[in-house]
Copies of this chain bind each other. A is one copy, B any other.
Amino acid sequence: MKKKEDVYGDHISHQFNEDLAGLKEDFLRMGGMVEQQVVDAIDALIDGDGHRADEIRGRDKQVDRLELEIDEEATRIIARRQPAARDLRLVISVIKMVSDLERIGDEAKKIAKFALSLSEEGKAPRGYVEVRHIGNHVGQMLRDALDAFARLDSELALRIMKEDKRVDEEYQAATRTLITFMMEDPRNISRCMSIMWVLRALERIGDHSCNLAEHVIFMAKGEDVRHTPMEEAEKVVGN
């Protein structure tokens, strides 16, 4: 905390700082939970572990509950403490980012659903290499996004934004590969489609992690870098 008292004077109370710290903490707790859901969903798929897939779907309810709680908490802080400037940016960003976390949780749940059906009908013949590879990649992006939030690290956030382009390329390549598999052996179409949806979910997780990163830059720098070219974002971060 960089001497906020100098800027806001009396407005800042000890309780206010505690509220903000609590909000960040809860957000990171939800983030950690969602991160674990993603890891577990990929493992469940590749190991053909239907039991674990089932657990993931159950835990998604906890993620949903946390979303509602954090939204309420953020609204209460705005109503009671009337935050300004950087603090208001933090609270509003959390309100935005919590939707991204919830959707990442949803994507993990979808992967778990496919893990369950694939474990029942026998493993998918192809595409697991791609799932593991892209899964690791977006898992790292999500972890980094949460770290960047915790440390308000806009340089790390910028790197995540750049990674997203690579994930998109990997995703395109994997999709082409799977279409080839389907053409080679049409009996595999249905199972290949399941893998296709899983890849799609992973790509979305990359997108949402990228959204988180954009918000971190907004919090740290006060400039909104959504929908701006990468060169602009680089200037904002000061590279």
Q: Which residues of A contact B (CB under 8 A)?
A: 61, 64-65, 67-68, 71-72, 74-75, 78-79, 82, 84-85, 88-89, 92, 95-96, 99, 175, 179, 182-183, 186-187, 189-190, 193, 196, 200, 224, 226-227
Contact = CB atoms under 8 A, between A and B. Distances in A.
Contacts of A183: 186-187, 189
29 contacts: A61-B227, A64-B226, A67-B227, A68-B224, A68-B226, A68-B227, A71-B224, A72-B224, A74-B92, A75-B92, A78-B88, A78-B92, A79-B85, A79-B88, A82-B82, A95-B95, A96-B99, A99-B99, A179-B189, A179-B190, A182-B182, A182-B186, A182-B189, A183-B186, A183-B187, A183-B189, A186-B189, A189-B189, A200-B200
Contacts of A186: 182-183, 186, 189
Contact of A88 (B75, B96, B200): B75
Contacts of A187: 183
A95 B187 CA distance: 46
Contacts of A88: 75, 78-79
A218 to B, nearest CB: 10
A189 B187 CA distance: 12
B65 A227 contact: yes
A92 B68 CA distance: 13
Contacts of A224: 68, 71-72
A190 B95 CA distance: 39
Counting from the closest, the 5 A-B pairs by CB-CB distance are A64-B227, A186-B186, A183-B186, A82-B82, A182-B189
A226 B92 CA distance: 19
A186 B189 CA distance: 9
A18 B174 CA distance: 51
Nearest to A188: B183
Contacts of A64: 226-227
Contacts of A84: 79
Best-surrounded residue of A64, A65, A84, A189 (most CB of chain B within 10 A): A189
Given A61-B227, A75-B89, A75-B92, 17 more contacts: A64-B226, A67-B227, A71-B92, A71-B224, A75-B88, A79-B84, A96-B96, A175-B193, A179-B189, A179-B193, A182-B186, A183-B187, A183-B189, A186-B186, A186-B189, A193-B196, A200-B200
